[in-house]
A and B are shown apart, each in its own frame.
Chain A
Amino acid sequence: MSIVGGYAGCFVLLQQLVNGVTLGSVYTLIALSFSLVMGILGVLNLAIAELFMFGAYLGFSVIARGLPLPLAIVTGMAGTTIIAMVIEKIAYEPLRDMPVIAPMLSTLGFSIILQNLATNIWGSDPLQLPPELFDTRFSMGTISIGAMQLVVIGVTIVLVALLAFIVQRTAIGRALRAVAENREVARLLGVRAGRLTLVAFALSGALAGAAGVLIGLHYATVTPYIGVETGLKAIAVMVVGGTTRIWGALLAGPLIGILEVLTVVYGGAPVRDFTVYGIMILILLLRPQGILGGASTEQGLRV
Chain B
Amino acid sequence: MSTYYAALFADVGILLLGAISVYIILATGQLSLGNAGFMAIGAYVASYLTVKIGLPLMVALLLAAVVAGAVGVVIGFPALRLKGIYLAMATLGFGEMVRSFFLNLESMGGAGGFHGMAHVSPVYVWGWAGSILLLVTLLERSRVWLEMCAVHDDETVAGFIGLNTTVIKVSAFGFGAAVAAIAGGLFAHHHIYIEPGNFGFERSIDFVLAVILGGSTVAIGALVGAALLVFLPETLRFFADWRLAAFGVLLVLVLLVRRQGLLDRAMFMRSIFKARRA
| Interface, chain A (partner B; CB < 8 A) | 38, 42-44, 90-91, 94-95, 98-106, 108-117, 120, 228, 232, 235-236, 239, 268, 270-274, 277-278, 280-281, 284-285, 288
Contacts and interface: CB of A to CB of B under 8 A. Distances in A.
A298 to B, nearest CB: 8
Interface stretch (B55-63, B158-166, B173-181, B242-250): B242-250
Nearest to A115: B244
Contact of B92 (A94, A235, A271): A235
B145 interface: no
B247 A112 contact: yes
Contacts of B230: none
Contacts of B251: 105-106, 108-109, 112
Contacts of B241: 116, 120
B118 to A, nearest CB: 28
Contacts, number: 126
Contacts of A117: 245
Main SS at interface, chain B = helix
A91 B252 CA distance: 7
A30 to B, nearest CB: 14
Main SS at interface, chain A = helix
A161 B201 CA distance: 34
Contacts of A95: 255-256
Which size class do B's interface residues fall under?
Answer: 35 or more
A109 B99 contact: no
A281 to B, nearest CB: 5
A106 B252 contact: yes
B111 interface: yes
A117 B241 CA distance: 9
Interface stretch (B45-53, B77-85, B186-194, B219-227): B77-85
A228 B92 CA distance: 11
Interface of B: 31, 78, 81-82, 84-86, 88-90, 92-94, 96-97, 99-101, 103-104, 110-111, 200-202, 205, 208, 212, 241-245, 247-252, 255-256, 259
B245 A100 contact: no
A23 to B, nearest CB: 17
B264 to A, nearest CB: 15
Nearest to B104: A270
A276 to B, nearest CB: 8
Given A90-B252, A270-B100, A273-B99, A228 B84 contact: no
A42 B92 CA distance: 17
A171 to B, nearest CB: 29
Nearest to B247: A112
A105 to B, nearest CB: 6
Given A112-B247, A268-B104, A270-B104, A277 B242 contact: no
A104 B100 contact: no
A278 B97 contact: yes
A103 B200 CA distance: 22
A43 B248 CA distance: 18
